[in-house]
Structures are given as structure tokens and as C-alpha cells.
Structure 1
Amino acid sequence: MTPEEVEERIEAAIEDCEATVERARGEHDDDHLRATVVSPAFEGESLLDQHDMVYDALGEAMTTEIHALELTTRTPE
């Protein structure tokens, strides 16, 4: 799964979301990614719940196509 495909999947699943996904630095495997996800849907949610929203958006890809995801979530403010 390419970083662009991961971005599209996250943005399609989370309201008013902007996702930026890239290969993790220093990793040569295609399945190690870094993502920053910004959405007003995260307001009032715990960090754990925010991350769960992203993992839910990626579904089974988290266990099959993505080995590691370094994740940063935040609200637009």
C-alpha cells in the first residue's frame, strides 16, 4: 500500500480530515509509514480514541499491508 493510498483511505473515513503519509525515515521496508492526521472529528476525543479512529479507517491493512505506523493526530486548532 502506497502512502497516497493510505492517505486516501484515512481521508475517506474521517470527517473533514487531512492526512499526510510518508515512508518512515531510516526504514527501507515499504510497510513502515509515518502519518499526521488533522481533523475536527478528534475534538474532545482521547489520544487513544483518535488513534483508534485512524486504525479503524485502515482496517485490515494494519495487519496485512502496513507493518508499522508512526501516528500523530490533532485538531485543526
Structure 2
Amino acid sequence: MAMAATDIEALIVAGIPDAMVVITDLAGDGNHYAARVVAESFRGVSRVECTRRVYGALGGRMGGELHALQLTTGVP
């Protein structure tokens, strides 16, 4: 079952409270998204760790409810 963009955003913000999140549905099918996640808490953190934090916020939904996520992280 596909996830709604609003659900993805809510999960990320719940897990990373200072995050500003922009979700784009890449294929219009509710299965392929791009997410831009910007958070001050990412400052000084490696890209790999930022990705881990976002995936952690998604609570194991990657590969299940959420099929594909093109992820970009950054700091304000």
C-alpha cells in the first residue's frame, strides 16, 4: 500500500522536530517520492548519518509501505 506525502512529512518531522521537509511525488503513483530535509540538527553530521536519521524517523517503512525515496539533506 502506498503512503501519502503528508504521512511521510509527518513521520520525518516527528522524528526530527527541527526539520523543514518538502516531499515531491516523482511518478504520481504514491510510491516514488523525493524528499528534501533541512535541519539545524544536521549541522556537523555526515550525509550518511543524516540519511540514517531520516530513515530512522520513517520507522522501517522503506521498502514496505514506502517503495522509493530520493533523499536530499542539508542545513539551513
**Alpha-carbon shift at residue 16 of structure 1 (Å):** 0.9
Structure 1 residue corresponding to 2:19, chosen from 13, 17, 27: 17
Q: Which residue of 1 aligns with 2:6?
A: 4
Q: Which residue of 2 aligns with 1:43?
A: 43
Q: TM-score, normalised by structure 2?
A: 0.89
Q: CA RMSD in A?
A: 1.1
Aligned pair count reads: 74
Displacement over 3 Å in runs of 4+: none
How far apart in 2 are the matches of 1:9 and 1:28? 20
**Larger relative helix fraction:** 1
Q: Which residue of 2 aligns with 1:30?
A: 30
How far apart in 2 are the matches of 1:28 and 1:5? 16
Unaligned ranges ≥5, structure 2: none
How far apart in 1 are the matches of 2:35 and 2:29? 16
Unaligned ranges ≥5, structure 1: none
Q: TM-score, normalised by structure 1?
A: 0.88
**Alpha-carbon shift at residue 30 of structure 1 (Å):** 1.8
How far apart in 2 are the matches of 1:30 and 1:18? 21
How far apart in 2 are the matches of 1:14 and 1:50? 10
How far apart in 1 are the matches of 2:56 and 2:6? 17
